[in-house]
Chain A
Amino acid sequence: MTAVIYMDNNATTRVAPEVLEEMLPFYSEYYGNPSSMHTFGGQVGKYITAAREKLAGLIGALPEEIVFTSCGTESDSTAIPAAVGANPDKKHIVTTRVEHPAVKNLCEHLSRHGYRVTYVPVDRKGCLDLDFLYDSLTPDTAVVSIMWANNETGTLFPVEEISRYVKEQGIVFHTDAVQAVGKTSINLKTSSVDMLSLSGHKLHGPKGVGALYVRRGTKFLPFLLGGHQEGGRRAGTENVASIVGLGRACELAAEHFEKDYEKVGNLRDRLEAGIMERIPHALLNGDPEHRLPNTTSISFEYIEGESILLMMDALGICASSGSACTSGSLEPSHVLRAMGVPFTAAHGSIRFSLSRYNTEEEVDFVIEKLPAIIERLRAMSPFWKEAVGK
């Protein structure tokens, strides 16, 4: 197999070697159940406590405000129903048109079960229409759920500002921060966010573990019922190894934050500039001023994303696309459509998302190889000649 150049870190990330190392003993030596009375099991509990502290440290939370879950989706599926369930008289939910399916499909589900959902639109750069958002709030609004950073374009939403306003109206504020944690600075101590979802495998932790931050004093209803784990907020025996791994991943993210932020940002800028310089009819999606340092989404006109991905794949380059053909549905990404990216460009969109493990050589390899791929597909396209004039 060709060496892999992994630029799909918004899909998932490599488990950091330091993380894996710390997880392994919990699959062999320390297999006890932290709920047990005996020392052998009970001693495992202190590692969970340590992980909780590390995670809390990364986002400026208190350890007791962290509930470990199985993934970002579970965190979202806990938070929003908890907010509406705790406010049974309120039947209105406000979210955006560009949420991840974990929130989008959940809200659509609730809209079929007696809730009214407002989807806040975005502009061509993917920025939220804040006036629309604030005007949509009513005394009937139970929860506002706005993602911190968009997974497809990397666009950052002004979550701090929004949460302050929402909180002043006495409405619960939740944010899906799965893409943001570890990539942008978050300090919940000074924010008005009530609940925040995050996921382990997006920040070099393992898959199958996530967390939900629940601000102290927030009314809460658990999603999973059963045992007393997580202070009764999430039943089920703890995924000890993964929780320990997530803790270590958070610790690493905090340690490396500034260095990583700069390095990854520079690599992304180099990649983006290199591509835009060499390839005509390429359009940048999203807001270059307000976005994650690791993400760039570029549309290549007159060709289709899946073909680009597979030709890159043959060279070991991993990325993703908002094209319809890659999703199994027939419509291109709901995010790009909400932004008003024309279908003709949305089908040819490619997202590169980097991490601290990427190198300058890898970026240069992509910049070198991509133009020929795009040219080859355009030569095959019935629209290309017409577009550039015969």
Chain B
Amino acid sequence: MWEYSDKVKDHFANPRNVGEIENADAVGEVGSMACGDALKLMLKLDENERVVDAKFQTFGCASAIASSSALTEMLKGKTLKEAEQITNDQIADYLGGLPKEKMHCSVMGQDALKKAIACYRGDAEKKQEGNIVCECFGVTDVEIERAVRENNLADIESVTNYIKAGGGCGNCHDRIQEIIDEVLARGVSSEKKPPKLTNIERIRRIEETLTREIKPTLKADGGDIELVDVDGSRVLVKLFGACAACSKSQLTLKNYVETKLRELVSSDLIVEEVP
């Protein structure tokens, strides 16, 4: 038996906004009977692209119905721009969480919403992006990659829980693992890149970051910054104008410049002010 939250049980037993909207402005349909769940989301918008009504029809289990109901409640009153920001995690959170095996129900909500918005904007049925990896549930490599990235999924089982890929015959497990490995490798490599920098690269990137990111911000406050030297991980800088006089300059350096340089160049940098 599933451990459903009270909110899931409530939205299943008393689903909000079941039905159809005649002349809906946006319709998003996902899933199929073969998949085991399907959702048709219908939206009515006002002239400011605000959702004035949202209705759904769902074929699926309790958490699929509850996720659909929650989604329509979350959508009401939101502009399309705001609606676009809704993620599957937020749908699950709204319901007080979903069992991990049921996360795909919240993903179905997010997918239907995306489709509805695309339908409204007239992005004609976008051609399927990527190549089908999971034949059983028709999931593409692009979708798997996105799910892995956005939800920090680390194994095939989690991928299956979120987007069903790999939940059928299992023939695609190797390919899913490859995608997970690729995403992980990319995540790691972007973190590890800085240590591989040569001294020249490091200095050049510090300069670039100062010019592009930091100077404009300081200038906006009437100050400026100049790179004096780079000694190992020590970055020596001179401050001008408002910054130099500002009693908080030390704090500005620590909190802002250093954070920015650490984030964009290398995590071991220490910023020091030279008089």
Does A102 count as interface, using CB distance less than 8 angstroms?
Answer: no
Q: How far is the CA of A77 from the CA of B108 in the complex (A)?
A: 40
Does A310 count as interface, using CB distance less than 8 angstroms?
Answer: yes
Known: A306-B62, A307-B62, A347-B36. A380 touches B13 (CB 8 A): no
Task: Assess the B168–A380 pair: CB atoms within 8 A.
Answer: no
Does A330 count as interface, using CB distance less than 8 angstroms?
Answer: yes
Binary contact readout B228-268 vs A (1 if CB under 8 angstroms, 0 otherwise): 00000000000000000000000000000000000000000
Does A302 count as interface, using CB distance less than 8 angstroms?
Answer: yes
Q: Which of A302, A325, A344 has the most CB of B within 10 A?
A: A325
Known: A307-B60, A382-B40, A383-B59. A347 touches B33 (CB 8 A): yes
B-facing residues in A62-119 (Cβ within 8 Å) = none
Binary contact readout B192-220 vs A (1 if CB under 8 angstroms, 0 otherwise): 00000000000000000000000000000
Task: Assess the B61–A307 pair: CB atoms within 8 A.
Answer: yes
Does A381 count as interface, using CB distance less than 8 angstroms?
Answer: yes
Q: How far is the CA of A60 from the CA of B36 in the complex (A)?
A: 45
Q: How far is the CA of A383 from the CA of B36 in the complex (A)?
A: 12
A350 to chain B, nearest CB (A): 13
Residues of B within 8 A of A323 (CB): 36, 61
Q: How many of chain B's residues touch chain A, expressed as a range?
A: 20 to 34
Residues of B within 8 A of A383 (CB): 33, 38, 59
Known: A307-B62, A323-B61. A344 touches B33 (CB 8 A): yes
Task: Assess the B18–A379 pair: CB atoms within 8 A.
Answer: yes
Residues of A within 8 A of B101 (CB): 328
Residues of B within 8 A of A324 (CB): 36
Task: Assess the A306–B61 pair: CB atoms within 8 A.
Answer: yes
Does A332 count as interface, using CB distance less than 8 angstroms?
Answer: yes
What would 16 A/B residue contacts be, using CB atoms closer than 8 Å? A302-B33, A303-B59, A304-B60, A304-B61, A304-B64, A310-B12, A330-B36, A331-B136, A331-B167, A331-B168, A343-B34, A343-B36, A344-B33, A347-B36, A382-B38, A382-B39
Residue numbers of B with Cβ under 8 A of A are 12-13, 15, 18, 29, 33-34, 36-40, 57-62, 64-65, 101-102, 136-137, 160, 164, 167-168
Q: When A and B form their complex, which 4 residue pairs have the shortest distance between CB atoms, in order from nearest?
A: A330-B167, A325-B61, A306-B61, A382-B57
